[in-house]
Structure 1
């Protein structure tokens, strides 16, 4: 490996320019941004100029052939996660792929297999794992402060938060709406804190009630006439260890707050709300609430990219593994399958 980690980026859209590229730049002593590719070549060229990247391409396969890279961020629409990540792994690169893992379980499994064959790192942009609240609560859980966590709730609900940009409302390119975009974050956070139990049974319902109507857009005006995803998803997951999880995800719902991202855990020895972090216990015949103070301020995105770079340079492995990506994809797709068929889905 060169003196610095040679990084390329596939996809030059919003998540690349607002998250990946700036956070790689913050580690200029360890990272060299070498190349960027986007099918909209002008967008790649502009990003290259803005971030001081030497090479820009319209074709990421050409980039992987012509430029020597150690690591790649995949920042494309969901439809292209699997082919781009697999191509980068096969080219000998470590990969940080944005969430969700893929469009289908088969794609997520193929990505995990490609990582295993290559011996390279594959991790996902599940940055809430790196927030100070989740890092702190995971330490409490690992120390037994909550005991066995047997019930959880993941909640990612916006009042009128349908994105007015990008392809977030295009099912062909994204695979779904609120669940696969924002719900995936809180679902993964809950699973991570629960120890990623194996799912056994999934029930789900999806709704398309507000996204296909013109209305107030708190995140810009969306294309309501071409809205092809769900604006709300709800689900129930039972795990093989007997634990259960209720999930809710919505781009648009008639609720009070503009945006709520929350995970609730209930264990034998204690429970917790994660954002902000508060722990609920019974000690010395007294019910107590424990509120951490002075948690670190570093954001999850920055910490996630730092962890990926450190792992590529021989440090600890990233928190999100390819195998967990497969499990996460199984649950997401099972919710959609259950919603479509009206039947519970068993996961073997």
Structure 2
């Protein structure tokens, strides 16, 4: 697919849209800055004084650091307020209300459907297939639904939240090829650091209609900083930037992210990811051995989806032990399931003890 043809997926009225020209849009140089109606003095609580100025819309140093982290060009990087903002921007920029649909694969992360509903984009659901190896995406059904339903966006969560399975790269590439010129395939890799599978960014050179979502919220432990990343063809990045709010990345958050992506911090993050992966195996085995557990799904993320004979009792016992997990019982086909994040070894021991019937009796 020719990258230029990506513009054909964008709403007609936004293809030449320039967006809001903020005081930081133009690259100006000077010593006295009087162009943004900012305070000439810092807030008394601002020790560095940096917060009195509006931030760079896309901080160059952060974009470069993220491009190094994800092995792409800075021109392919859009930084925003978590992956949620990128999802919302994609739906607003590509989907004309009431006409252009999105495809999702439930049970899955709910923000795709929320963003679609807010935009008036028809929702096409292709349920995951629950098989002996866990939940999997029916990619043929996804392609058919997208083609017949007039979809502009296909969201693939890989590893999928809450089910934990990854979508094979060869399947993603084949789907993108089938939908070239029709839809953008968005691969949400929020939990990619915990998986053995390489990133779908490696498919983008041959498939311009693939975009990848990443975040610093999970493996990098910066959830409160709200640093989300969209990696896409520069043509699409420019369109989305025009649709984005003027100053999406607060300076303190950008500075914290840069510190978190420095060498020593990255090394410690890698060690912690390795520990989570080890604990994931241990917790999966421990849960599977408990009498009230019906099934523990294999996971490439930092969580496990677990079915219980009595999910209500399991949830209550965990809460009584001070452990809060994610209740999945309202999700389609998960009426007996809880999602349990992988904690420290001590926290995981606490989970197992709370659910162990022998411990409860004692």
| TM-score range normalised by the length of the shorter chain | 0.3 to 0.5
TM-score, with structure 2 as normaliser: 0.35
Larger Rg: 2
TM-score, with structure 1 as normaliser: 0.36
> Which structure dedicates a bigger proportion of its chain to strand?
1
> Which structure dedicates a bigger proportion of its chain to helix?
2
